[in-house]
Each structure stands twice: as C-alpha cells, then as structure tokens.
Amino acid sequence: MEKGKGLARRWAVEFVDTMGSSSSLSSTSGISDPLGFSRSSQDQDDANGGRQKKDAEVAWKAQKAWEVAQAPFKNLLMMGFMMWMAGSTVHLFSIGITFSALWQPLSALQSVGKIFEPYKDSKVDTMAPKLLFIALNMAAMGLGVWKLNTLGLLPTHASDWVSSLPPAREIEYAGGGFPFV
Amino acid sequence: MVWETILPSPSPSKSLLYVMAKENLIFVSGKEWLHAISSLDGMIAWSKYFHLESLQIQQNDQHSERNIIYAAGFSGLSEVELYELSGKTGEVLKKRITSYSGIFFQGTLLVHNDVLVTLDSTRSKIVLVNFQGEVASFHQTYVSDLVHDFSGEASFLSSKFADMFVLKLDSCKALVKVKSGRTVSLIERMEHPDSVSDAILLPEGKKAFAIVQNKETGIHITVTMDGELINEVLRERIELDDNRGRVQKVFINSYIRTDRSYGFRSLLVMEDHSLLLVQQGEIVWNREDGLASIIDSLASELPVEKGATVAKVEHNLFEWLQGHLLKLKGTLMIASPDDIAAIQVMRLKNSEKNKMTRDHNGFRKLLIVLTKAGKVLALHTGDGRVVWSVLVSSLHGTKTCQNPTWLNIYQWQVPHHHALDENPSVLVVGRCGQSLDSPGILSIFDSYTGKELSSSHVSHSIAQVMPLPLTDSKEQHLHVILDSNNNAYLYPRTRDALKLFHHELSNVFWYSIDSTEGIIRGHSLNHNCIHNEADEYCFGTRTLWSIVFPSDSEKIIATTTRKLNEVVHTQAKVVDQDVIYKYISNNALFIATASPEAVGEIGTAIPEEARLVVYLIDAVTGRVMHRLIHHGSQGPIHAIFSENWVVYHYFNLRAHRYEMSVMEIYDQSRVDNKDVLKLVLGKHNLTSPISAYSSPEVLVKSQSYFFTHSVKVMAVTSTAKGITSKHLLIGTIGDQMLALDKRFLDPRRTPTPSPAEKEEGMIPLTDSLPIIPQSYATHSLQVEGLRNIITVPAKLESTTLVFGYGIDLFFTRIAPSRTYDSLTEDFNYALLLITIVALIAAIIVTWVLTEQKDLRDKWR
C-alpha cells in the first residue's frame, strides 16, 4: 500500500517539476535557445496540449485521492479477519494484533495531510476523500477498541474501579475476649 | 516414640516413677491405684487397687535378689497399712496393719522398707512406724528438737531417698536421716530455694546425694556420700548470669575417675526451666528447655544497618566477588575439591541469613517469646539462636510479689515514621500470684537488647489487655487494661496518649465473655472511674448489651476474631465481572456454642442430642448478624477468622468424620454501587468511614466439607499488603503443619463450574478436602506437641513467615502463590553480570571495528 502511494507521488512530482522547471528555465534564465530552434510555434502547441494534460492530471489526481482514501477499507477487512482469528483470550498474539489495530489508524490519522499532499491542487477537492479516509481509520480504531474490550482490557465494569479501593475505615473499635485465668 | 500408654485410673498419677530393671517394669502410683507397666512395649503388666489414703510405694534395694514393692497408706485416721508385693506379679506377699494412739496427718507418708515415716495431725511431730518386729512399734520425735527455731507446720518433700527425707518447714528445709528405724537426726539445714538430689546407689552399697545452694557468690554444689559415715566428697562452685535464676532441682550421676575414685556430674534444673550439666566445676552443656513452654510470641524487626565503613565495604566486595567466582566455578563444574569444600563452608556460614540487621525482603526478624517460667527470649529467624534472654521473674520476685505469673506479651512501641531513633519495645504483662484479683506487673523491654526499659507494679489487677489501634506521638501503642472490677486503665500514662484517648473514648467498646455462665457483655467506657476519681487514666465501664446463651442448651466452646494487624487489600470481590462487597470489620466476633451433652469428648454424645450453633456477632452493638446450626455435630471447634471469612473445624457425629465449614460474609448495603460512571467520577461512599450503628445488611454464604485430620491448631497466612492469596495452616494431630489453599474453602464452589468460573480458578466441588502430601509446610518434620502457629508478613508481598511452637519450635517461610516477586535464592547473579559485561564489551568492540571500517572505506 505504502509503496504504491510513494510511487504515484514520485512519478507525479517529477512530471510537474520537469514541466515547471523547463518553462521557468526557458523564461527566466538568459540562456538562448539553440540555433534553428523556434519556440513560438511549439509554445502554442504546448499550451493546447498542456491544458488537456492538466485536465487529465486533475482527473487523475482526484481519482487517486479517492483511491488512497478508500485504501483503509481493505485494511479494515483484513484486520477484522485477523482479529477473528486471534480469539478473545489474552495472549501475545491477540494483544499484538489489537495494538497494531489501534496503532495503524492512529499513525495514519497523524499523517493524513502528508498522504494527501501529492494530490493537492487548486482544482482538486481533497476534502471529501480526506473525510472518508479519516472515517475509515476511525472505524478501524473503533474495531481495535472493540477488540480491546472483548479482551477485557478496558475498565468498563464496576469491578475495574472498585477493586483498588481499600476497605472503609471503621469508626468504632471493640476489643476484649476471655479474661486471663 | 516407641510406645505410649494411657492408664485407666481416673486420678492423675504421681510424677515419680519407679523402674525395676530386672523385670523391665515401671511402677506408677495414682491416688489409690498401683500399675506396673512393661518398659518394653508399654503393656500394663498388672494393676492393683488399695483402699488407702495417700498411697506411697517404694522399691526395695536394687541389689537384693527379691523384687519386692512396698506399698503403704492410711486406712483410717490413726491406722496405717503396709503391703509387701511381688514386683513381678503384683501378688500380696505380706500385709501389716497397725493403729496409732494419736491421729496421723493424712497428707504425707514416706516408706523405707518396713519403716514408715509420717507426721501426726499437728504437723510438728515426726512419727516412725517400725514394722520390723512382730508388733509394730512407734517412735516419735518433735520437729523442734531437730530445728530449734521451728514454728508452724512441717511437710515432706516427695523424693526417692532411701533412709533420708527432706522436711519442709516455713523457715527452711531440713535433711533428716532415719537411724536404725528408731531415731531421726538432722544432717543438713538448708535455706528455701536450695534443693537436694535423689540418692544414687554406688556399687559398694554406698549412697550419694547432692545439695545445691544458691548463694550470693554463685551456685554451690555439695555431693555427700552416705555409707557408714557421712562424708562430703565434692564441693563445687559455679557462677552464672542472672538470666537463669536459681536452681530448682538437681540430679546426679556418678562415673569412675582415672584414680578409681568416684566423680559426679550434676544436672541442674534452673528457675527458667533450662538444663545445665556441671562436671568438675564447669558447665559442659546447657539447654533452654523453657522454650518448650512458650505462652505467646511476636515478631520484631531487626535494626537497620548503620552506615558501613569504606574498608568494610571493600573487604565485603572482595569477599563477595570471590564467593561468586567460587559459585560460578561450582555451577560450571570446574571447581576443585578444595573449592567445593570452600563453597560448602560458605554455604554453611551463609552469613546473609544470620545477620543481625534488617534485610531488604524482611525475612530476618526477631521472634520474641515469653515462656511459662517468666523468661523473655529473642530468637533469630535465621538459625533460631537466642539473641538475648531475660528472666523477668527474677527481676520482680520481691517480698511483696513472691510468685509472679506471666500472662502475655504485646508490641509496645514500633518506630515506623516517627521516633525512628528509638528501638522497638515489647510489653510483658504479669501478676503477683495466681488469682484474678492479684495486682499486676507491667514490664517493658527493648526488642534489640533485651534491657528492661521500665517496669511498674500496678495497684489494680489485670483481667484483660486490649491493645487499641492508636499510637501516640512516640509510636507507643495505646493499651487499655481492664481489672477484675471492670475498670479500665489507659497505658502508656502520658498526656499525649490521654488526649488521643479522650478523643476516641466514645468510639471504644469492650466486650467480655463469661463462658461458665454463657454470657457475652458489651461495655462502653466513660470518664468516671468509681474507685479512683483522682486518677485521670482510670475509666469506668457501663454495660451496653448482653447476649445470654441458655445454659441448658448452649455452652460457649470457641470464639475468634480477626487479627488486629491484618491488612486487607480490597473490599470488593469480582464475580463474573460483577462485583460483590466483602464485609470487613475488626469488630465481628465468631462464637461457637455446643449443647451441654456434646461438650465432652467425641463419642460421649449421640447425634440426636449433639449440635453446634455458630454466631457472628457485632461486638460494638451486640447485633447477631448470622446464626447457623450444625445438627449432629460436636466440638472441639477450631476456628480462624480472616478478612471476611471464617473457617472452622468440628466433628460430624452422623458421618463419623471431621468437617470443615467456611462462612463468607458480604455486605449487602453496598451492592448498589455498580454505576461505572459514578465510580469513575468518585461519586461513591465506598471509602467513607462506616459505623456499626448503621447496621449493614450482610449476606453469608457457607459450605461444608469433610476433612480427614483432626486438628490441633489453625492459622492463616498473612502478607504485607494482603494481595497474595491465602493458605490455611493446619496443625494436624501428627504434629505437622499442613498448608491448605483457601480456594478449596470457597462457598461458591459447584460440582460443575461454568467456563467463567473455571477461568477464575474455581475448583469443582468435592465432598472432602484433599490433603496433598507435598503441601506440608513441615515436610517430614514433626513439631512435637504443636500448640500454636503464628504468621508474620515479610516485606516481600508473596511471602509469609511461619512460626509454630509446642515442645519443639519450627520456623519457615512460605509463599502461597509462589515467589512471584523475587528470584530464587540460588539464582546465579554472577552469571547474569558476566553475560551483561560480555555483551557490553562485544558492543564496544564491534562499534570500534565498524568505525575503523567506515574510515577505511572513506579513504579508498
């Protein structure tokens, strides 16, 4: 999953960068074009083609953003399956799975901005995919919490709160017994 | 033990036994009975009944051929009878009877072959009855002729002297010899604490005896030979410290020296019941036999280690390293025989266990015990050695208080937070004389040194001592002492304690149990002390309530309460994720009564008339919280009360088996505290102080099980925080200590526990409690005459220190839930240390290597 995202971003970034840099280079730097190279005709073609390309890129970005947003869903299903396999008794495996189920959505939520950065665009609305992503991760975390509860590790019972209470002090004191003989 | 025989006669027998070596017989005389018991197998060879007062027996001289037993006694006020019996069969060979013109004092009679020595009814005249001739003759001697300052009444001290006897007078003792059956003469006059040994027979027919005199300069032992002439053969003087008191008894034994003369060893029984063997003026060995009669014991902490000097630390460190090196060698099997020997010596010395300082785990403690002889001893738990001992009686034996008896021992001061520079101390309570009204003695001892810090002879009597859960600013425990007139006295007598007590006065209650009348009374304390208005430390008592058990159907046979210093970790018990609240109260009192028919021994009552009733009573209000009847059962009851449960042991006559029952008490008034949100926010009253007058509803669950053993004593483990699960410690009839998991005594046990209950660790219900041979805390040892078990928490939560005493003493430490909080003693710390060091070294080396490699790569 991570790998795919990374690849997509690098590829997109390079594409944008080269486009930007080549144009900026030609416009800002004072290096003259090579001989026999006419910029004007090509520029016009590029402008047309560039718009088309830009549209395609926006569409592609939006699509990718949605894909990324939906990615936790698969994760959710897999997590659910693994939790079911782990059973409801407390041992190393079930604890590991539960904590990874809690940790993954948390770390994903922390880096939600970073994940959607490649698809950031003035024309692309990343809000909706972000919300979906957050919601799905929340669901995954809920699953983790639910699992924690079934393991009995959440203090949701009265017994969890009173078992550490010391016995109440008694006001009266009575002593005595048999007299010495 | 080879054999044990219980004699059928109803009266107790005299302590003096006669042994006939030739026939292997032991003669025991009771009140009117004479029994001959085979010394080989304990079978009763013959028994004979005499219709006589104050029966006395005597064996004839051992080297004569005939085995004759003389038995004599009074058959009337002025008649005396003498029987000659065959030692082998008990057949009467000769019977002599005679009557005296005066009246005999019926109490004492001595027999020497056919001469009887007795007193007349005024107890100022010695009468010899001589049966040697055909007609018995009487010879009289006035005691005042022997001892000139005689007044009052004389009596005989019972002894196995042949023709001598000891006359006990008010002013002194007199050793008197009978000469040719007619006259008596004084041999030695002795002061009161002095004693005389029995005569022993030397091969030439001579007799020897020892006199021991307690003088300022020490103990003087004089051995005298008594043949044709009386001559002194040995005079020795030994010096002893005051902690053994005076000599009470002496026994002698002879040996032949290299110059063929007789030498004598003497065994001295001291006032503190210790034994000394003296030979040639030296104490060969001594034994603290007073420890066989411990009255009570408590545990005290050892002193904290004071700042050790540097040199000592270095020395210790070197030794420590050397020791661990040796141990390592031992574990790696490369130790030479010398090393193994060194390891053995080190293990034996194992100074860690026997140090005189407090240890981190709290395993080392001082056990302070009070013995019947009035001696306080501190025993080290490491090896049981006596650290210090004080004979309290000798400190207090004055003219006004001649025979002090000692009642109990209490913790007086336990420095914990304040007054840390002071040593802990214990309070020993006694009284002058036997009766309940005699004035009391309070004596306080330093737990570390055994020095008496203070003592007072108080004017009031001591009927009960009630330690309060209060301490003053110097961490002295407040004690209320009740006298026989139901007045209460506060100790220590300081302003601070008084202020504290006044503050708590309305909350302190006292109950008294009168088992003869079957009444329990509850009292409150108030300011006006009836006898002593001026004494600020004296308080009056007022009866608040009383519970009267009908004497024709119930008799109190056992009571028990919780230990005052028991720590309980939690008030809740989790049952299937639900919670129930334990009823934990220091004021709950468990009482068991039996029907009068069932008070005797097992087998004397029939199941229909025998029954036990057990009660749980609140000792503040007198409220009976629970009552339970066991039909067809009888005592003796042994009960133990801990946390919120009582376990008791009794005999079921219907099933012909012993039973154990458990009662668990739960507080119903707190059941409603179930709202998690309220508990999270702390909106509950579970930790607020509770009053007994709120009369909380209790729920009692109980269950009974069969148990194989009869029980001598029961105790329960106690730990520092009360988290560790509990074990019952059962002193069995075989003088062993059985640890029984409390989980076996759980009233919630069912034959088929649910999965949740199984998960909780509940054991399926069975009709009897299992006895697992591995769970004997004493292993294969027997604690002879086990009387009591005390448990002391160690600092380590998992561990309890257990001290059992009877004739033998036994100390161990047990961990009811295994030692989950410590490594085992033989854990190889050195190996661990070496592994860590090796790993660190490897890390450093590899780090250096990689650095070098990196540098090389960069240069390339």
Q: Is residue A84 in some structural domain?
A: yes
Q: Is residue A147 in some structural domain?
A: yes
Residue type (1 letter), B422: E
SS3 B237: strand
Which one has a higher pLDDT value, B82 or B642? B642
Q: How far apart are CA B551 and CA B519, in angstroms?
A: 9
Percent of chain B past pLDDT 70, that is, above it, reads: 93
Do A162 and B680 count as a contact with CB atoms less than 8 A apart? no
Q: Is residue A40 in some structural domain?
A: no
Q: Is residue B194 in some structural domain?
A: no
Which residues in chain B have their CB less than 8 angstroms from residue A166's CB?
568-571, 687
User: Residue B413: enclosing H or E segment and its boundaries?
Assistant: strand B404-413
Band (A43; pLDDT cuts 50, 70, 90): low
Q: How far apart are CA A57 and CA A122, in angstroms?
A: 12
Examine the pLDDT at B235 and tell me if it is beyond 70. Answer: yes
Please check whether residues B20 and B137 belong to one and the same domain: yes
Final residue of a structural domain among B154, B185, B208:
B154
CB pairs under 8 A between A and B: 140
Pairing verdict, β B633-642 and B624-631: unpaired
A89 → chain B, closest CA residue: B759
- pLDDT tens-digit profile of B672-712? 777 777 778 777 778 888 888 988 889 999 999 999 889 99
CB B736 within 8 A of CB B775: no
Please check whether residues B343 and B457 belong to one and the same domain: no
Do A175 and B572 count as a contact with CB atoms less than 8 A apart? no
Which residues in chain A have their CB less than 8 angstroms from residue B404's CB?
none
Q: Is residue A170 in some structural domain?
A: no
Which residues in chain A have their CB less than 8 angstroms from residue B507's CB?
171-173
Final residue of a structural domain among B434, B462, B490:
B462
Optimal mutation site among B503, B565, B579, interface A, most CBs of chain A within 10 A: B579
Take residue B854 and report the two structure tokens written for it: 């990196």
Number of domains in chain A: 1
Do B579 and A174 count as a contact with CB atoms less than 8 A apart? no
My answer on whether omega of the bond before B636 falls inside 30° of 0, hence cis, is: yes
Please check whether residues B21 and B69 belong to one and the same domain: yes
Optimal mutation site among B486, B524, B690, B691, interface A, most CBs of chain A within 10 A: B690
Which one has a higher pLDDT value, B54 or A9? B54
- Which residue is listed with tokens 């009348």? B517
Secondary structure percentages of chain B, helix, strand, coil, to 5: 15, 45, 40
Q: How far is B434 from chain A (nearest CA, A)?
A: 8
Q: Nearest by CB to A172, from B463, B587, B674: name it.
A: B587
Helices (H), B397-461: none
Examine the pLDDT at B194 and tell me if it is beyond 90. Answer: no
B622 → chain A, closest CA residue: A174
Burial class, B75, CB count within 10 angstroms (exposed 0-12 / middle 13-18 / buried 19+): middle
B679 → chain A, closest CA residue: A161
Please check whether residues B415 and B309 belong to one and the same domain: no
Q: Is residue A23 in some structural domain?
A: no
Do A181 and B689 count as a contact with CB atoms less than 8 A apart? no
N-to-C CA span, chain B? 90
User: Residue A77's domain spans which residues?
Assistant: 62-153
Q: Which pLDDT belongs to residue A4? A: 45
Q: How far apart are CA B17 and CA B27, in angstroms?
A: 6
Please check whether residues B325 and B416 belong to one and the same domain: no
Pairing verdict, β B572-575 and B578-581: antiparallel
- Name residue B427's beta-bridge partners: B410, B444
A169 → chain B, closest CA residue: B689
Do A156 and B676 count as a contact with CB atoms less than 8 A apart? yes
Which residues in chain A have their CB less than 8 angstroms from residue B579's CB?
157-159, 162-163
User: Residue B14's domain spans which residues?
Assistant: 1-154
User: Residue A45: enclosing H or E segment and its boundaries?
Assistant: helix A39-86
Please check whether residues B442 and B338 belong to one and the same domain: no
Q: Is residue B723 in some structural domain?
A: no
Q: Is residue B816 in some structural domain?
A: no
Q: How far apart are CA B391 and CA B402, in angstroms?
A: 14
Do B679 and A161 count as a contact with CB atoms less than 8 A apart? yes
Q: Nearest by CB to B510, from A160, A174, A181: name it.
A: A174
CATH classification of the domain holding B60: 2.40.128.630
Please check whether residues B12 and B120 belong to one and the same domain: yes
Distance of CA B51 to the CA centre of its chain: 39
Q: How far apart are CA B580 and CA B577, in angstroms?
A: 10
- pLDDT tens-digit profile of A53-86? 888 888 888 888 888 888 888 888 888 888 888 8
Number of domains in chain B: 4
Please check whether residues B27 and B82 belong to one and the same domain: yes
Q: How far apart are CA B564 and CA B584, in angstroms?
A: 12
Please check whether residues B137 and B47 belong to one and the same domain: yes
Q: Which pLDDT belongs to residue B475? A: 87
What average pLDDT is seen over chain B?
A: 84
- The string over A26-45, giving b where at least 16 C-beta atoms fall within 10 Å of a residue's C-beta and e elsewhere, is eeeeeeeeeeeeeeeeeeee
Q: How far is A130 from chain B (nearest CA, A)?
A: 34
> Which 3-state string (H, E, C) describes B112-176?
ECCEEEEEECCCCEEEEEECCCCCCEEEEEEHHHHCCCCCCCCEEECCCCCCEEEEECCCCEEEE
Which residues in chain A have their CB less than 8 angstroms from residue B571's CB?
162, 165-168
Beta-carbon count within 10 A of A103 CB: 12
Q: Nearest by CB to B559, from A152, A177, A179: name it.
A: A177
Band (B19; pLDDT cuts 50, 70, 90): confident
Distance of CA B266 to the CA centre of its chain: 28
- pLDDT tens-digit profile of A113-165? 888 887 777 777 778 888 888 898 898 888 889 888 888 888 887 778 887 78
Q: Residue B409: phi, psi to the nearest 5?
A: -130, 140
- pLDDT tens-digit profile of B546-584? 999 998 889 999 999 999 889 998 888 888 777 888 999
- pLDDT tens-digit profile of B416-438? 776 677 889 999 999 888 888 88
Q: Which pLDDT belongs to residue A3? A: 46
